[in-house]
C-alpha cells in the first residue's frame, strides 16, 4: 500500500525537478531574446539618429558636424570670391584688396580652428582647397577683364584648378564604387566612406604665391609705378 501511494508522489517530484531544471534554460532564452530585442532597437534608433543627423547637419559614426567653425570660415572665403571679383570689375581696388587680405588670412584661420577644436572633418578637407580655388579663380578672371593680369597665365591657373577639382570628384566616386543613391549621399563625406584629401606642401606654397601676385597687381592702379608694373609683368 505504501509503495503504491508513493508512486504518484514520486512522479510529481520528478515532474517538479524537470521543471526546475528547465527554468534556467528558459530564463536564459528569455534573456537572450530581450538582449536581441534591445540590440535591434538600438540599431533602429541609431539608424534614425543617423538620418536625422544627415538632415540637420550633424553626423555620427565617428564623423564631425558639417556646420562647424572651420567649415563656416571656408564657406565665407568661397563666397568672398565673387564679391571681390565684382569690386574689381567696378574698380574698387582698395576695398577689393582689403577683402582679399581678410579672405587670404582665413585660409590659415580655418586650419588653426580645426586643430584648436580637435575637429577632423573629411568634408572640410575637400572644402578648404575648393574655397581657395573659387576665390583665386573669381578674382583672377575679374583682373583679366581689367587688364591687370595676363589672360594666358590666368587660363593656366583655371585649367589646373578644374583638373584638381575633377581629380577630387574622381577620388570620391571611386571610394563609393561609382554607385550612390543621391547627391546628398555623395557629399556626405563625414559618414559614408570617410577618406580625407591631403594637399601637397608645394600646392599650399603655390596658393600663397598666387595670392601675393594678385594682391600686388590689385595695388598697382592706386599706388603702382612704372617700375613696379615691370616687376608684375615679369612675374605674370
The burial of 143, by beta-carbon neighbours within 10 Å (0-12 exposed, 13-18 middle, 19 or more buried), is given as buried
Q: Please give the biggest Cα pair distance in the chain.
A: 133
Chain position carrying cell 559618414: 191
Q: Choose which CATH entry (2.60.220, 1.10.3430, 1.20.120, 3.30.450) describes domain 64-235.
A: 1.20.120
Of 73, 22, 59, residue with least CA distance to 188 = 59
pTM: predicted TM-score of the whole model, two decimal places = 0.64
Domain locations in the chain as residue ranges = 1-56, 64-235
Cell numbers that stand for 3 in this block: 509503495
Tens-level pLDDT at each residue, the chain (236 residues): 444 444 554 555 555 555 545 544 444 444 444 334 334 333 333 344 344 444 444 444 444 566 788 889 999 999 999 999 999 999 999 999 999 999 999 989 988 998 898 887 778 888 888 999 999 999 999 999 998 888 888 999 899 889 988 888 888 788 777 877 777 677 666 666 666 667 778 888 888 888 888 988 888 887 766 766 666 666 55
Amino acid at each position: 500500500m505504501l509503495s503504491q501511494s508513493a508512486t504518484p508522489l514520486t512522479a510529481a517530484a520528478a515532474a517538479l525537478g524537470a521543471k526546475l531544471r528547465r527554468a534556467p534554460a528558459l530564463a536564459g532564452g528569455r534573456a537572450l531574446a530581450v538582449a536581441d530585442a534591445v540590440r535591434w532597437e538600438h540599431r533602429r534608433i541609431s539608424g534614425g539618429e543617423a538620418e536625422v543627423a544627415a538632415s540637420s547637419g550633424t553626423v555620427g559614426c565617428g564623423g564631425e558636424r558639417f556646420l562647424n567653425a572651420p567649415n563656416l570660415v571656408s564657406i565665407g572665403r568661397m563666397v568672398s570670391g565673387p564679391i571681390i571679383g565684382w569690386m574689381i570689375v567696378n574698380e574698387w581696388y582698395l576695398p577689393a584688396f582689403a577683402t582679399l587680405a581678410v579672405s587670404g588670412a582665413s585660409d590659415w584661420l580655418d586650419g588653426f580652428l580645426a586643430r584648436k577644436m580637435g575637429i577632423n572633418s573629411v568634408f572640410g578637407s575637400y572644402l578648404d582647397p575648393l574655397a581657395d580655388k573659387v576665390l583665386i579663380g573669381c578674382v583672377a578672371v575679374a583682373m583679366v577683364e581689367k587688364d591687370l593680369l595676363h589672360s594666358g597665365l590666368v587660363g593656366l591657373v583655371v585649367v589646373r584648378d578644374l583638373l584638381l577639382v575633377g581629380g577630387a570628384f574622381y577620388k570620391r566616386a571611386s571610394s563609393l564604387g561609382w554607385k550612390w543613391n543621391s547627391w546628398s549621399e555623395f557629399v556626405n563625406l563625414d559618414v559614408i566612406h570617410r577618406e580625407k584629401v591631403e594637399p601637397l606642401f608645394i600646392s599650399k606654397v603655390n596658393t600663397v604665391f598666387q595670392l601675393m601676385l594678385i594682391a600686388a597687381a590689385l595695388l598697382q592702379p592706386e599706388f603702382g609705378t612704372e617700375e613696379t608694373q615691370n616687376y608684375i609683368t615679369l612675374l605674370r
